[in-house]
Amino acid sequence: MKANPQFYDYWPYDERRPKIQWPNGAKMAFWLAPNIEFYELNPPANPYRAAWPQPYPAIQGYGIRDYGNRVGHIRQMQLLDKYGIRGSISLSTALCEHHPEIIQMCKERNWEFFSHGIYNTRYTYGMTEQREREMIRDSMLTIYQHTGQHCAGYLAPALSHSEQTLDLFAEVGTELFGKESGLWQGKETGGIYTCDLFHDDQPTPIHTRSGKRFVSIPYSLEMNDTIAYVVNKVEPRRYGEMLKQNFDRLYQEGSTSGTVMCIPTHNYQVSCPHRLKAFEEALDYITSHPDVWVTTGREIADYYLQHYYGAAVHNIAEQHAAIGVKA
């Protein structure tokens, strides 16, 4: 075990970072990541983490998550349509098989699909490297087969990780969609960003063992509706206020250097009838501001890799060299 995951170098959030400007001079890149998940009623037991607090069948926890797919999905989708937001879906990829109707609706809207594992009840804990690689590969292939998209991003299922998770994702992305794959599109399109790290409000370069250019895109645990509602037990109207306050500060700081705001959502939380109004008010507020680039995770990663990745790596090395240490 390590004291520090060593995925990234310490890099202070101050004026020494290269100034980011998003397309058309935007100050902030705003993206919205609906988690569209499938939880199994009777998954095989993982010795590190129980899927449900009650013995099978845990119909309460299962039921409300099923509500997300049966009821909540369309509600949130209608709202995103209204405010001109394309979702970047953190997808339990087995949903392609279980509920293809939902996948179809997202495809019609040109939403992005990225991998959130196969099921949100299959944890990475205890997997050998080979098994985790298989699981990641299966999830990326499933997205490709059902949507034609080259999966660019990863959020580990139920945020369960190994030390190799990011390396494996980056490698499988290149194996499936890189130069040798037969599906090459002139640049790396698969396995280029992660949502698993919460260390910054701007994208940052991530070390991979293969040396692939790979970035972390801010995804925000704090603005995640499930964290807010289930873990922190926030009142719905307060959640709406938190979103606006988060936006206000990141928007203000974006004048200095472009920031990223993400709202990760779950249709079984934010789309409940007592919560949607607060969420809509926040979306209305955010999208009414000029100079906000309303975009997707992949587009942020692509733009950053193209324009700022090299400068960031150089800047990190330079700052360390200036005080006589190695990054």
Partner 1 sequence: MTDKSLPLDYMQYPERHYGMDHSFYPWSMLHQRKNIVWPQGKKLALWLNISVQFFPMDQKGKPFKVPGGMTMPYPDLRHYSLRDYGNRVGIFRLLQAVDHYGIKPTFSVNSRLAEQAPLLLHKLAQRGDEILCHGWDMDSIHWGNSAQAEANNEAALIEKSLSVLREFTGQPVTGWLSPAQNQSENTALYLANNGIQYCGDWVNDDLPYAFNPQHLGPHGKPLLNIPLSTELDDQFILQNNLHSETSYLQQVCDACDLLLAEAEHYGGRMLALNIHPWLLGQPHRIAYFEQLLAYLSSKPEIWLASGSEIYSAFSGQSE
| 53: contact with partner 1 by CB under 8 A | yes
| 56: contact with partner 1 by CB under 8 A | yes
**Cα–Cα distance list, 105 to 86, 112, 267 (Å):** 12, 12, 15
| 118: contact with partner 1 by CB under 8 A | yes
Give the separation between CA 260 and CA 250, rounded to whole angstroms.
Answer: 7
| 243: contact with partner 1 by CB under 8 A | no
| Of 96-104, 155-163, 217-225, 285-293: span binding partner 1 (CB under 8 A) | 96-104
| 205: contact with partner 1 by CB under 8 A | no
Among 237, 249, 289, 314, binds partner 1 (CB under 8 A): 237
* Secondary structure element (H or E) that encloses residue 314, with its range: helix 309-322
Q: Which amino acid makes up residue 218?
A: P
| 284: contact with partner 1 by CB under 8 A | no
Among 103, 127, 166, 197, binds partner 1 (CB under 8 A): 127
Residue 57, preceding peptide bond in cis (omega within 30° of 0):
yes
Measured in whole angstroms, the distance separating CA 135 from the mean position of its chain's CA atoms is 18
Nearer to partner 1 by Cβ, of 233 and 326: the residue is: 233
Among 23, 25, 60, 249, binds partner 1 (CB under 8 A): 60
| Of 43-51, 81-89, 152-160, 289-297: span binding partner 1 (CB under 8 A) | 43-51
CB atoms within 10 A of CB 143: 24
| Of 49-57, 148-156, 170-178, 247-255: span binding partner 1 (CB under 8 A) | 49-57
| 42: contact with partner 1 by CB under 8 A | yes
Looking at the DSSP bridge assignments, the partners of residue 33 are 264
| 141: contact with partner 1 by CB under 8 A | no
| 131: contact with partner 1 by CB under 8 A | yes
Is the backbone of residue 324 left (phi > 0), alpha (psi -120 to 50) or beta? left
Residues in contact with partner 1, counted by CB under 8 A, come to a total of 56
> Residue 66 Cβ, how far from partner 1 at the closest point, in Å?
4
Q: E-assigned strands of 128-217?
A: 153-154, 193-194, 204-205, 215-216
> Residue 47 Cβ, how far from partner 1 at the closest point, in Å?
5
Among 81, 101, 222, 284, binds partner 1 (CB under 8 A): 101
DSSP for 147-164? H-----EE--GGG---TT
Contact 194, 203 (CB under 8 A): no
- In the three-class reduction of DSSP (H, G, I as helix; E, B as strand; rest coil), residue 76 is classed as helix
Among 23, 25, 63, 310, binds partner 1 (CB under 8 A): 63
Contact 110, 60 (CB under 8 A): no
Q: Among positive and negative, which fits the CA dihedral 131, 136, 140, 142? A: positive
Contact 7, 197 (CB under 8 A): yes
Tally of CA atoms within 13 A in the half-sphere of 42 that contains its CB: 2
Among 69, 115, 120, 189, binds partner 1 (CB under 8 A): 69
Nearer to partner 1 by Cβ, of 118 and 260: the residue is: 118
| Of 121-129, 205-213, 250-258, 304-312: span binding partner 1 (CB under 8 A) | 121-129
Nearer to partner 1 by Cβ, of 27 and 122: the residue is: 122
What is the DSSP pairing of strand 215-216 with strand 204-205?
A: antiparallel
Give the separation between CA 192 and CA 210, rounded to whole angstroms.
Answer: 12
> Residue 9 Cβ, how far from partner 1 at the closest point, in Å?
32
For partner 1, the binding residues (CB under 8 A) are: 38, 40-42, 44-48, 53-60, 62-67, 69-71, 73-75, 94, 97-102, 118-119, 122, 126-127, 131, 134-135, 229, 233, 235-237, 272-278
